[in-house]
Amino acid sequence: MPTREEVVDALRTVEDPELGMDIVELGLLYDVEVEGPKVHVDFTLTSMGCPVGPMIEEQIRDTVAGMPGVEDVEAELTWDPPWTPEKMSEDAKFILGFG
């Protein structure tokens, strides 16, 4: 079974194609829970009207499902708390001009 940290590291490959950065750096990944072969991922999007939301969710599912020992993946989109630029890493803020 993967650890929570291994799942988070794997999710660094899931990019928001509009911003060209991964969901971890953008602060879109809220939580990861690993319970045996089941992984639950809470994530958000930069806005409710984000046109790439379904693609990001599919990438999350595919990435985590491809990890050894994972049999079930739940990717749950949440709007609580709402995403703000403050959730981004310092590097992401700098690159995107929020620093």
pTM to 2 decimal places: 0.94
DSSP single-letter state for residue 76 = E
Residue 86 tokens read as 């403050």
Taking the chain, what is the end-to-end CA distance rounded to the nearest angstrom? 38
The pLDDT value recorded for residue 98 is: 85
pLDDT in tens, 16-27: 998 899 999 999
All domains in the chain, ordered by first residue: 4-89 (3.30.300.130)
pLDDT in tens, 35-91: 999 999 999 999 998 899 999 999 999 999 999 999 999 999 999 999 999 999 999
